[in-house]
Amino acid sequence: MNCSYCHSDAGTVPAQWDARSQITLADTGMVNGVAVVGVNLLKQWIEQELPQHLSYAAWRESFFGPAPSSGGEMTTDFDEDGPNQQEFLMRTHPRVADIPAATELEMIGNQVKITLPELTGRSVILETSANLQLWKTWQSTANQGLPRAAGFPAEFSITKSPDSRFFRVKVEER
């Protein structure tokens, strides 16, 4: 496990300690009692979050039965609302047409605030395009594709621009 994905300056959680290997032990914030926070966090992750993590194969079996059951392939869209791989990543039900958690947009002055759904353990990346054909990762320190921590949705602020731009969210398992 690499704690520095989340516990660093650009991590996905407000950290009381910094797990990057390139800093000194004194700079980690883990000396003189703060390490207890890290130990408790690691214990919580092992006991509560990790057991809930399913591989695609386990997820498929829970909804479609053991392979080679029909309807469970990654590219199959059993309920006609998106392929199974998307349902797995977005944690929606593959046998019930449903809508995944929404991306929220809010105008604050000349800023557009984008809040992406909380998808614990998933990598959530904001991409942009001027023409809907060529896509690139939106350049932001908050848009590193790090796995999301529980309780912390991804948030971005983008300065309003006269240029037309399109955005999409890419979700991956890490």
Q: Which residue has the higher pLDDT, 37 or 155?
A: 155
Nearest CA to 98 out of 119, 79, 75 is that of 79
Is the predicted pLDDT of residue 33 greater than 60, yes or no?
A: no
pLDDT class for 18, splitting at 50, 70, 90? confident
Q: What is the dihedral of CA 22, 26, 31, 34, to 10 degrees?
A: -70
Q: Give the type of residue at 87.
A: E
d(CA 109, CA 158): 11
User: What confidence tens digit (pLDDT) does each residue in 130-150 have?
Assistant: 999 999 998 887 788 877 777
pLDDT for the residue 71: 84
8 contacts 21 by C-beta, under 8 angstroms: no
Q: CA 171, CA 12: separation in Å to the nearest integer?
A: 15
